[in-house]
A and B are shown apart, each in its own frame.
Chain A
Amino acid sequence: MANLAKLSLSEEEELMYTDQLGAILDHARDIMSLDTDDLLPTAHPLELKNVFRPDVETASLSREEVLSQAPASEDGRFLVPRILGEAP
């Protein structure tokens, strides 16, 4: 799990989170024991659907302002450390 999330955890932390995640999984198991055969899956907690925005352009941010927030930039682009894997 820590590997997937690219987190480096100490052994102590690993134990602590394993406990906590275990408790969450136990809770999920409790819920799974309920009979939900007659219920449709819930995609969203609110009873909303089809919330749309019209296709109308709004102002974008200033590039200078945005790039000034980034750790590094070059040629109007965000500079990121070398990437080892390929894009998905």
Chain B
Amino acid sequence: MADNSIPSDGVEGFLPGWEMVVGLEVHCELKTKTKLFCGCANSFGQEPNTNICPVCLGLPGSLPVINEQAVELAIRIGLSLNCTVDKSIFHRKNYFYPDMPKDYQVSQYEKAINENGILELPLSKKTVRIERAHIEEDTGKSVHVGGDGGRIHGADHSLVDYNRAGIPLVEIVSAPDLRSAEEAREYVTELRSILVASAASDGKMEEGSLRVDANVSVRRQGSEEFGTRCEIKNLNSLRSLTRAIGYEARRQVALIEAGERVVQQTRHWNEDQGITSAMRSKEEAYDYRYFPEPDLVPLEPSTEWISEIRTHIGLLPAARRERLTALFSDVSSGPVYDQIVTAVGLGLDDLVVGAAENGADPRLALARATNEVASDIGNLPRLTIEKFSDLIKLESQSKLSATQAKTVLGKMLESGADAAGVAKSLGFEALDSTVIEDLVDQVIGSSPKEWERFSSGEDQLAGFFVGQVMKLSKGKADGKIVTSLLRSKRS
């Protein structure tokens, strides 16, 4: 069956009678100053091969020494995921590929530093088991020259940049507990928030700080046995993740329904075509000839050190959600809870909590944060809690209408200016209530018949009067004030 006969859109609810089973391996670059085993800088976007030394080039005679901060950040991740943190050792994973000049990658194979944790999904309220979160080094980056569009097949030769070789990674391996592409997305979103909150990683998927491999299989609904799985490599956005998982599950169902078998293999996701394709048959573990790394000694973190590291972990997403939830009465689900999850996922919770502390209406602050601020999240650093609080107050005091407040907030994010200044420059100065009253009287005077009908109880005419006042005021009057003036004049 040709791969392209399977539609690639949609991610949910398309497998009647089938269940998908997904486990994720998330590779997370640690936010250290230097690499895992040498003092070369850990920084993104440098000129190729400028952060390299004898250790990360694997030159003869060079010896690795592990970065203490990388171990601390790995332990922070383990503690944040409720793992058991224990002694661990390193292995060499041997292979023939030029992305590691040593021809092996140092990783934790038999005994990971963090094992047996859990992660709770906030929306689906599901507990996902974490099998392990181990330390390893990242590999170099290859560019394939010639051939078709930079793909490896048909390339004339490849060019390698070793700046990334030796950057500290933690690979977080989940149990196969996820049952939909949406759950997978929720898992990565929550995990990302945890990594950022514990200051272990910057969580930037677009810079490759988080890369996901997805193990996907399908089985008939009600079946206890797992199907044959395929591993999709290197998914580097949430959109790719959900699309690739959806496509892959559908491909496997189509194969089985056509009487064929799923072959266990590693697959590549093609974002443009929206399909996965086979990379190579999965190598058996012994092909990597793992053996203990003789140049590194075991890690055995003391309970004192682990306790100290625990105090370095910031407020985690679950606690952040509780902090927001406490601002409202009784929200454990529903639209406000969804907004709370979004706010924490996007790191907007400090803004909302800060605004509430400054006396702004928390519900309005949450709404503006998760809509207007979220849609321009790149400019978040320009928005201080004080300026945001002022805007929310202007809106809840009806000095700005909802539409005006959204526009002002948009400009504040662009320029970093304060709310009152932006409102003034846009001519959004709130009309004095005496001015509004004059306008209301003017409209009543020019529409006596409508006023009579409104006065005798035809409430729907309120809209007509508000509209007329808005027109006269060029949209600056606050609708709520106009309505209350109309009602008080009627009685």
Contacts and interface: CB of A to CB of B under 8 A. Distances in A.
Interface of A: 4, 6, 43-44, 46, 48-61, 63, 66-67, 74-83, 85-88
Contacts of B65: 51-53
A85 to B, nearest CB: 6
A46 B268 contact: no
Contact of A55 (B67, B93, B105, B155): B67
B34 A56 contact: yes
A60 B97 contact: no
A66 B66 contact: no
Contacts of B268: 86
18 contacts: A44-B89, A49-B298, A49-B299, A53-B37, A53-B65, A53-B68, A54-B68, A55-B69, A57-B39, A59-B39, A60-B51, A63-B49, A76-B161, A80-B158, A82-B155, A82-B158, A88-B93, A88-B288
A77 B48 contact: yes
Contact of A86 (B89, B93, B279): B279
Given A43-B298, A52-B68, A60 B40 contact: yes
A52 B71 contact: yes
Given A53-B67, A79-B158, A88-B288, 6 more contacts: A52-B66, A57-B40, A58-B39, A77-B160, A87-B97, A88-B105
- Nearest 8 CB-CB pairings of A with B: A58-B39, A55-B69, A77-B159, A52-B68, A53-B65, A48-B297, A43-B89, A76-B48
B18 interface: no
Question: Main SS of the interface on chain A?
Answer: loop
Contacts of A57: 33-34, 39-41
Contacts of B70: 55
Interface of B: 32-34, 37-41, 47-54, 57, 65-71, 87, 89, 93, 95-99, 105, 139, 142-145, 152, 155-162, 233, 266, 268, 279-280, 283, 287-289, 292, 294, 296-301
B49 A67 contact: yes
Nearest to B32: A55
Contact of B287 (A4, A67, A74): A4
A34 to B, nearest CB: 19
B33 A56 contact: yes
B160 A78 contact: yes
Contacts of A63: 47-50, 52
Nearest to A58: B39
A87 B65 CA distance: 26
Nearest to A61: B53
A88 B231 CA distance: 12
A73 to B, nearest CB: 8
B49 A76 contact: yes
Given A44-B294, A87-B139, A82 B156 contact: yes
B66 A78 contact: no
Contacts of B97: 83, 85, 87-88
Nearest to A48: B297
B301 A58 contact: no
Contacts of A58: 34, 38-40, 53
A43 B292 contact: yes
A23 B142 CA distance: 41
Contacts of B160: 77-78, 80
Contact of B33 (A48, A55, A76, A81): A55
Contact of A60 (B41, B98, B139): B41
B155 A83 contact: yes
B108 to A, nearest CB: 11
Nearest to B97: A87
B63 to A, nearest CB: 10
Contacts of B287: 4
B279 to A, nearest CB: 4
A82 B297 CA distance: 36
A60 B166 CA distance: 13
